[in-house]
Amino acid sequence: MSRIYQRVFAREYNESRVRFGESESPSYSAILTPGGAICTDLFCAGALLERQGRKGELMYARLADPTGAFGLHIDRTDQAAAGILESMEIPCFATVIGEARMTGAGGMSRCTVRVREIREVDRYVRDSWVLRTAGLTFGRIEDLYAALNCERSDARIESMITHYHLDVPRLRDLALMVKEAIKGVNAAQPVNSQEKRPEETVLDIIREHGGKNGITLEEITRRAARQGLGPLEVGRAVESLLQDDECYQPARGVLKLL
């Protein structure tokens, strides 16, 4: 059976206190969030801000979205995911596929994500995740509002309303959280005419990190992502710089200042 990877914001996930359904091990039960999402497997995106441990040990990390941060962990036996996390230069944008985990109960419960896959991405992947997650969250809020007005309901919604004492003000708070998250995406877009052009950003990266042998296009793209540039913008900027003789290619895929 194919897995369903749930998208929820970190704040909603971290406020979860309810397990949904039956399982032999409570830590593997589905987690029911205050916004009505049933989480067994997650797809998360954000800024990787912190990392603890090393490959071969139990590793921890923190992945922040516009509403809060997911607590990540990688088991000692997962050499592939641990190696990737260990090699990532923090801070950077990343996506994570993993298992929803909850320890403790009630007010003492804590939600984390057991990482299966992690990879570095650019700002646009993160922003796309935020927008898609916002749409899904708004949809769940609408279902909850309809249930409160006795228009429709199911076992999941009834369980959530009961355990989280859901009411209209709580729904309004969730909706405001989503709106604030979307504002973070909009704020990431250049709006000031004085902002650096992509060509200037790429040129600065080559100048600072190129050294005697130049710098690979892959490395430029990776560093530019932290400044809000996607691969397409980097490619166009590089083409423009080559045409203007601002830089050249001493080898295929390598750029160096003239």
CATH number reported for the structural domain that contains residue 247 in this entry: 1.10.10.10
Kindly report, residue by residue over 71-80, the tens digit of the pLDDT: 999 998 888 9
| Tokens linked to 200 | 């200037």
| Tokens linked to 142 | 């609408």
Query: DSSP label at 26?
Result: G
Please give the average per-residue pLDDT across 228-249, as a whole number: 83
Structural domain containing residue 214: 198-257
Measure the CA–CA gap between 64 and 228, rounded to whole angstroms: 16
Kindly report, residue by residue over 139-168, the tens digit of the pLDDT: 988 888 888 887 666 777 777 777 788 888
Structural domain total, the chain: 2
Same domain? 176 vs 207: no
Measure the CA–CA gap between 163 and 157, rounded to whole angstroms: 10
Please give the average per-residue pLDDT across 61-68, as a whole number: 93
Same domain? 38 vs 135: yes
Same domain? 214 vs 171: no
Measure the CA–CA gap between 252 and 225, rounded to whole angstroms: 21
Helix/strand/coil (H/E/C) assignment for every residue in 192-213: CCCCCCHHHHHHHHHHHHCCCC
Same domain? 123 vs 176: yes
Measure the CA–CA gap between 138 and 175, rounded to whole angstroms: 7
Same domain? 179 vs 207: no
Measure the CA–CA gap between 186 and 184, rounded to whole angstroms: 5
Same domain? 146 vs 209: no
Name the phi and psi angles at 218, rounded to 5. Answer: -60, -45
Side-by-side strand order, sheet with 247-251: 215-216, 254-257, 247-251
Same domain? 235 vs 167: no
**Start-to-end CA span in the chain (Å):** 56
> Tell me, what's the pLDDT at 192?
45
Same domain? 170 vs 203: no
Q: Provide the residue type at 215 as one letter.
A: I
pLDDT at position 111 over 80: yes
Measure the CA–CA gap between 185 and 190, rounded to whole angstroms: 11
Beta bridge partners of 114: 73, 99
